[in-house]
Amino acid sequence: LAKTTQPISMDSYEGQEVNITCSHNNIATNDYITWYQQFPSQGPRFIIQGYKTKVTNEVASLFIPADRKSSTLSLPRVSLSDTAVYYCLVVERDDKIIFGKGTRLHILP
């Protein structure tokens, strides 16, 4: 099975913009890219989803290049409460649903 690839961990400071990139070389033509956030002892929570170019909502932006082989989650002006694990999710070409291994984001004061 093809897999997604994300950085294992990232550190940033409060007030900074954080960008997390996910590689997904075998994404299917009609599939969307979805990002989730997970706090300790909780289930993942949907953040944002997109198909191409740029999507923005009240908490994040998602940038997807034309070839769609990667995506970048952008968190503007992070705070301590953004410390969490972030996952990107795509559907592989055989329709298996695979989470990336996740990126542990640690926000420092």
Partner 1 sequence: NAGVTQTPKFRILKIGQSMTLQCAQDMNHNYMYWYRQDPGMGLKLIYYSVGAGITDKGEVPNGYNVSRSTTEDFPLRLELAAPSQTSVYFCASSLQDRPNQPQHFGDGTRLSIL
Which residue's CB is nearer to partner 1, number 66 or number 97? 97
- Residue 49 engages partner 1 in binding (rule: CB under 8 A): yes
Give the three-state DSSP class for 81. helix
Burial, 29: exposed, middle or buried (Cβ in 10 Å; 0-12, 13-18, 19+)?
Answer: exposed
Span interacting with partner 1, options 16-24, 55-63, 73-81, 95-103, rule CB under 8 A: 95-103
Burial, 91: exposed, middle or buried (Cβ in 10 Å; 0-12, 13-18, 19+)?
Answer: middle
Which residue's CB is nearer to partner 1, number 5 or number 12? 5
Residues that bind partner 1 (CB under 8 A): 1, 30-32, 34, 36, 41-46, 49, 87, 89-91, 95-102
